[in-house]
Amino acid sequence: VRSLRLVGQHVHKQHSREMSSSVGPQRKVTILGAAGGIGQPLGLLMKLNPLVTHLSLYDIAGTPGVAADISHCNTPAEVSGFAGDEDLGKALEGSDVVIIPAGVPRKPGMTRDDLFKINAGIVKTLCTAISQHCPEAIVNMISNPVNSTVPIAAEVFKKAGTYDPRKLFGVTTLDVVRARTFYAAKKGLNVRDVDVPVVGGHAGITILPLFSQATPYKPVEGDELEALTKRTQDGGTEVVQAKAGKGSATLSMAYAGAVFAEACLKGLNGEKGIVECTYVQSSVIPELPFFASKIRAYKFLDGGAEHNIHVGPKVIS
Segment near ligand NAI (CB under 6 A), from 3-11, 18-26, 115-123, 208-216? 115-123
Q: Is 5 exposed, middle or buried (0-12, 13-18, 19+ CB in 10 A)?
A: middle
For residues 257 and 254, give the distance between their C-alpha atoms in angstroms, rounded to a whole number: 5
Indicate whether 143 belongs to the interface with ligand NAI (CB under 6 A). Answer: yes
Residue of 72, 202, 307, 310 marked active site: 202
Residue with nearest beta carbon to ligand NAI: 36
| List 4, 27, 33, 169, residue binding ligand NAI (CB under 6 A) | 33
Q: For residue 105, report the phi and psi dihedrals to the nearest 5 degrees.
A: -95, 175
How far out from the chain centre does Cα 249 lie? Answer: 14
Indicate whether 106 belongs to the interface with ligand NAI (CB under 6 A). Answer: yes
| List 139, 156, 171, 179, residue binding ligand NAI (CB under 6 A) | 171
Question: Which positions ≥6 away from 241 have C-beta within 8 Å?
Answer: 108
Question: Which positions ≥6 away from 238 have C-beta within 8 Å?
Answer: 231
Q: Are 81 and 72 contacting, i.e. CB atoms less than 8 angstroms apart?
A: no
For residues 252 and 176, give the distance between their C-alpha atoms in angstroms, rounded to a whole number: 11
Segment near ligand NAI (CB under 6 A), from 28-36, 44-52, 206-214, 292-300? 28-36
Residue type, 281: Q
Whether residue 313 has a cis bond before it, omega within 30° of 0: no
| List 30, 71, 144, 233, residue binding ligand NAI (CB under 6 A) | 144
| List 29, 79, 137, 146, residue binding ligand NAI (CB under 6 A) | 146
CB of 214 to ligand NAI, least distance (A): 20
For residues 152 and 269, give the distance between their C-alpha atoms in angstroms, rounded to a whole number: 28
Buried b (16+ CB within 10 A) or exposed e, 6-19: ebbeebbeebeeeb
| List 45, 55, 174, 280, residue binding ligand NAI (CB under 6 A) | 174
| List 8, 37, 209, 235, residue binding ligand NAI (CB under 6 A) | 37
Strands 97-100 and 28-32: parallel
| List 55, 66, 83, 122, residue binding ligand NAI (CB under 6 A) | 122
Indicate whether 200 belongs to the interface with ligand NAI (CB under 6 A). Answer: no
CB of 295 to ligand NAI, least distance (A): 16
Indicate whether 43 belongs to the interface with ligand NAI (CB under 6 A). Answer: no
In 201-268 the beta strands, taken as DSSP E runs, fall at 207-209
Number of residues that bind ligand NAI (CB under 6 A): 32
CB of 104 to ligand NAI, least distance (A): 6
| List 248, 278, 282, 293, residue binding ligand NAI (CB under 6 A) | 248
For residues 227 and 223, give the distance between their C-alpha atoms in angstroms, rounded to a whole number: 6
Annotated active-site residue 10? The verdict is no
Segment near ligand NAI (CB under 6 A), from 67-75, 102-110, 160-168, 262-270? 102-110
Residues classed as catalytic: 202
Footprint on this chain of ligand NAI (rule: CB under 6 A)? 32-33, 35-39, 59-60, 101-106, 115, 119, 122, 125-126, 142-144, 146, 171, 174, 202, 247-250, 253
